[in-house]
Homo-oligomer: A and B are copies of this chain.
Amino acid sequence: MSPISSPALHAGNSPYDRLKALGLTLPPAPSPIANFVTHIQEGHMLYLSGQGPREASGYLYTGKVGSDVSVEEAYQHARLTGINLLAVMQSALGDLGRVKQVVKLLGMVNAVPDFADHPSVINGCSDLLIDVFGEAGNHARSAVGFASLPGNITVEIEAIIALKN
């Protein structure tokens, strides 16, 4: 399992305590931008549609990582994407305490062809989920480069979440 160094983990036992310790407030879940839904729950598995680096105002961070956008900026965009995934979980579940395990992320980076540091970018989301959920935030993952993303956003991430019975 991954080492967890953030003070957030020690701030309390609930995801809400940890969000508070991180100074984060969840926005409303973004509405789908086309003919799909933000999530489907099937049995005790929750499948989340890809989310992007969208501010609560609707502003989207755009550009190619590795040229227009630095790794450090893209890390923050992946973190913001993680906040939006949390917002969808909150909307879907009513209680983030129902999350048993973050199972799998697909981290999609809108990158130039010679970009090589996708893992450092997607850590922006992974670090957040582990800070918020502790061990239950540990997940399998691929973090890879896409030729283009909707609206030219820098990062998109989809997730599979297991729920407590």
Contacts and interface: CB of A to CB of B under 8 A. Distances in A.
A36 to B, nearest CB: 4
A114 to B, nearest CB: 7
A93 B123 CA distance: 26
A129 to B, nearest CB: 9
A25 interface: no
A53 interface: no
Nearest to A130: B35
A38 to B, nearest CB: 7
Interface string A103-135: 111101111111111111011001100100000
Nearest to A34: B119
Given A114-B148, A142-B156, A37 B108 contact: no
B39 A150 contact: no
A138 B140 CA distance: 22
Contacts of A117: 150
A48 interface: yes
12 contacts: A2-B36, A34-B123, A35-B130, A36-B105, A36-B139, A36-B141, A37-B139, A42-B45, A49-B140, A50-B142, A106-B142, A146-B146
Given A36-B140, A144-B156, 12 more contacts: A2-B35, A35-B127, A50-B142, A50-B144, A106-B142, A111-B148, A113-B147, A116-B148, A116-B149, A118-B148, A140-B158, A145-B149
